[in-house]
Amino acid sequence: MGFSKLPRSMRQLTTHLLAILMGVVFTVSTVRVLPSQAEPAPSLSTTDSSQLLAQRQSPAAAAAIGNRSFVTAAVKRVGPAVVRIDTERTVVSRQRRLDPFFDDPFFREFFGDSLPQQAPRRQQQRGLGSGVIFDRTGLILTNAHVVDKADKVTVHLKDGRSVEGKVRGVDEITDLAVVKIDAGDNLPAAVLGSSDDVQVGDWAIAVGNPLGFDNTVTLGIISTLRRPSSQVGISDKRLDFIQTDAAINPGNSGGPLLNDRGEVIGINTAIRADAMGIGFAIPINKAKTIAAKLQRGEKVSHPFIGVVMQDLTPEMAKKFNQDPNSPVEIPEIKGILVRRVVPNSPAATAGIRPGDVIIQVDGKQTTEGEQLLGIVEDSEVGQTLQVKIRRGNRTQQVSVKTTQLRTSS
């Protein structure tokens, strides 16, 4: 039966249905071609998010990443150059009396060293750390505390080989050391970046062997820059650390801290056991300068003047002077208070005393201890510094000739 032969009511109903159907098809087609501006953007997958973050950090690196994260690319680039370092050292314990009875003061006074002694006890101590190959001939950068005083150093490469390492040089003041291995002239070597380009908030990737777990990778950000060693709690070091929240644990020491491009920006060092979620790394620019001397067997110079100091403000000085038990009266100014002078040091020879306030060095206004440390560290051993001090109401200038800083060992 044709359409025209249908009853009128049926023809009208069919016409309405066709119109509705055509409208729906048109609407759907329009939506596919011209999406509404008000529609929310499609959500990014985890992989898409990683790629977007990597592109914002480093477009060149992101282009080479493909479907993998920037962390994967960075670790693949540097991972083969990261090594595990095992050390052994012999420790001789102190001599002890055979019997506590002989430790009685009466016997010690009359018999002294003639009392029977035990033979010295020798113990083997083993250590674990990380390192990074920075030269294809087998030069490795690590922490001084990883290899210092070690009788034997064994380097485990990523390819499974174990090679004996020889310590080329150690600098305890910056906690850096260089180890050499003979394992061919074409070893994988990490690219050393620039710590001067690092900014707070940048990605930070720590690679190493924490707690004996080889080839461990942790991710975080740069928390702060130029964290003075005095604030970290190790006043015997002369460093401004990179602080990161990437996990750094014992065994990570000496391993590399990377940026998002897989360049080494620092050498990890585990310092404070109570620093939960906080790690520290030696800036790579400082490490490069020290490593260049250590690999040649040269001693690293660290000028020393011999003062224990504290930053001073007028308010602090006023409060100190109000104390009736204060041994001296301190000038109520901003400067560097000398709390103690090391005996027989350059400062002692120059006549600097506790209670003096340092305000200028070689014509540069110096009001913070970190400024003074920087000036001294940048000078030469044997160089004479002109130091202006305030003593009471008088201002005077003294000449201080630096000497080499000696370590406790």
3-state SS, one letter per residue, for 309-333: EEEECHHHHHHHHCCCCCCCCCCCC
Greater model confidence, 257 or 210: 257
Which pLDDT tens digit goes with each residue over 73-94? Answer: 999 999 999 999 999 988 776 6
Interval 234-250 mean pLDDT? 80
Q: Residues 317-367: pLDDT tens digits?
A: 999 888 888 878 888 999 999 999 999 999 999 999 999 999 999 999 998
Place of tokens 């922490």: 143
Lowest mean pLDDT, pick from 115-129, 293-307, 335-349 = 115-129
Query: Does the pLDDT value for residue 56 go beyond 50?
Result: no
**For 138-297, where are the E strands, in sequence order?**
139-142, 152-156, 162-171, 176-181, 203-208, 216-228, 240-244, 256-258, 264-269, 279-283
- How wide is the angle at C-alpha 354 spanned by C-alphas 352 and 360, nearest 5°? 55
pLDDT of residue 262: 93
> Which residues are part of the catalytic machinery?
145, 175, 253
Confidence of residue 228 (pLDDT cuts 50, 70, 90): confident
- SS3 state at 72: helix
The lowest-confidence range among 43-57, 190-204, 237-251, 288-302 is 43-57
**Residue 148 one-letter amino acid:** D
Instruction: Report whether pLDDT(266) > 50.
Output: yes
CA distance 140 to 162: 14
Q: State the pLDDT at residue 24.
A: 38
Which runs of E-coded beta strand occur in 78-183? 82-92, 122-135, 139-142, 152-156, 162-171, 176-181
Task: Give the pLDDT confidence of 208-221 residue by residue, as tens digits.
Answer: 988 778 888 999 99
Q: How far apart are CA 235 and CA 231, in angstroms?
A: 8
pLDDT at 293 over 50: yes
pLDDT of residue 52: 38
Confidence of residue 30 (pLDDT cuts 50, 70, 90): very low
Report the percentage of the chain scoring pLDDT > 70.
Answer: 72
Instruction: Kindly list the structural domains of the chain, giving each domain's residue range(s) and its CATH number in brackets, ordered by start.
Output: 195-294 (2.40.10.10), 303-404 (2.30.42.10)
Question: What's the pLDDT tens digit per position in 360-375?
Answer: 999 999 988 888 988 9
Across residues 196-213, what is the average pLDDT? 89
Cα separation, 312 vs 318, whole angstroms: 10
Structure-block tokens of residue 50:
């990683």
Q: Report the Cα 372 to chain-centroid distance in Å.
A: 22
